[in-house]
Structure 1
């Protein structure tokens, strides 16, 4: 009887305490095509692998001493590519201009892991969370040091691509356990090649990456239990407990 009571109580309460994990795939079908790009700002909308959430993706680039502008984002067979000039190579990099991908999720998430399919020279990254879209849907006419001041949390991570290709790297464990983005939930996240304004101390100017996906977590239940069912189960547990005390 005691086990049954515990089971009913746990089942009644489980819908409110479970966390959900989402996996996002950034690999597309297209190649890099011609290197001579027409830089056309664009937005890419995708869903997570289980179609439970959505995200809008845009890319942004600038030198430290110029206004940030919206670049051209591709999801290629290698993952994310950011083009910020007609002769730009197909990476998310910090050679000259700093490239970032802005992720606008349909609900608040915690960024748990990033998959780097390819890295060249080095694979240091910077990430930041915001309460609102820092670019307001258009050219912000801001510098990176100003954008970083809007972040509610930001940090930089060394050698994210040091693990085997397509391996999800946990941002909140090991040497990165106490990074300032741990436990932060937001709708707006920005990831890119290392930029000193989002956490200094790393070597800048040699990070070339292709992000093939990421993992996020939410506090909403992965399996929701309707309120009437929850109340019925809890009431059943109380009745059974009352009956047990009556006849004991």
Structure 2
């Protein structure tokens, strides 16, 4: 065997993504308080931290209404809802909804803030409505682009878009989302901050701007474990007998040279 065979080869072992499933459940979790601007904190089994807050464009102005914080509630025991500053707690107001008498419309959204960049891969709704449809709704999802301020307060939903000088990108608008696990974000975008809410036409086409509502039961995310660590993989080397034979051949080759030197 040649000298190359005596060297160890290096094999890169592909790293699998870490997956986090976030189930919202009033039996195991609680808000930090019960008023506008409250939050829900969670930690995954692999140590990723999540903070959830509610937002809606309820600050009435002559133009587009500005966004301000709202109140997170348990819309049912296993699902999150939002009661904004212009709503009561009846149905569908206690859901994440766009049902309102405001001529400008009011669109509720959840802000999901993670302490590390995640890929939001799916959502699971426990309740949904969309105009004349039951158990289906249209949703919008945005991701912070990682530059500049991620603040929502005092902005309009249109102004937070990167295309309008803001720092959020539209990841997708999804129509007729039902009450089962629904995959999102096919481009596998990663971000530390995500907005999830009912469809808003200022974020682009893809949904029906009717009165939508939803209660979010769970989300699924994944994180990149980083660059795979090279793992040494030893290559078989010659046994003892082969090494001994090579040594004897080497001695034999040197003997004629010594005789000629005399």
Alignment TM-score, normalising by the size of structure 2: 0.68
- SS of the residue corresponding to residue 117 of structure 1 reads strand
Please, which runs of 5 or more residues in structure 1 have no aligned partner? 1-7, 31-37
Q: 1: distance between equivalents of 2:242 and 2:109?
A: 67
Greater strand proportion: 2
1:184 positional shift:
0.5
**Paired residue for 2:52?**
57
The equivalent position to 1:95 in structure 2, one of 93, 99, 102, is 99
Q: 2: distance between equivalents of 1:23 and 1:247?
A: 56
* Structure 1 position 127 matched with structure 2 position 141: yes
In the superposition, relative to structure 1, how do residues 13 and 94 fare at CA in structure 2: closer, same or farther (>3 Å)?
Answer: same
The equivalent position to 1:118 in structure 2, one of 107, 116, 127, is 127
Q: 2: distance between equivalents of 1:168 and 1:60?
A: 24
1:199 positional shift:
2.4
Residue pairs, 1:1-248, within 5 angstroms: 13-14=12-13, 17-29=15-27, 39-48=35-44, 50-62=45-57, 65-75=64-74, 76-85=76-85, 86-88=87-89, 89-96=93-100, 97-121=106-130, 122-132=136-146, 135-136=150-151, 140-149=153-162, 150-161=167-178, 165=179, 167-172=180-185, 177=186, 182-220=187-225, 234=232, 237-238=233-234, 240-243=235-238
Deviations 1:111-157 (A, max 9, x none): 11100011123410000000348553xx6211110012321343200
In the superposition, relative to structure 1, how do residues 205 and 106 fare at CA in structure 2: closer, same or farther (>3 Å)?
Answer: same
Paired residues of 2:142 and 2:168 also in contact (CA < 8 A): yes
* Higher-RCO chain (CA-CA 8 Å, sequence separation at least 6): 1
Greater helix proportion: 1
Paired residues of 1:29 and 1:77 also in contact (CA < 8 A): yes
Deviations 1:39-75 (A, max 9, x none): 5211210123x25311011110015821100001124
Please, which runs of 5 or more residues in structure 2 have no aligned partner? 1-7, 29-33, 101-105, 131-135, 244-262
Q: Give the greater-gyration-radius structure (CA).
A: 2
**Paired residue for 1:3?**
none
1:188 positional shift:
0.6
Q: Tell me how many residue pairs correspond in the alignment.
A: 206
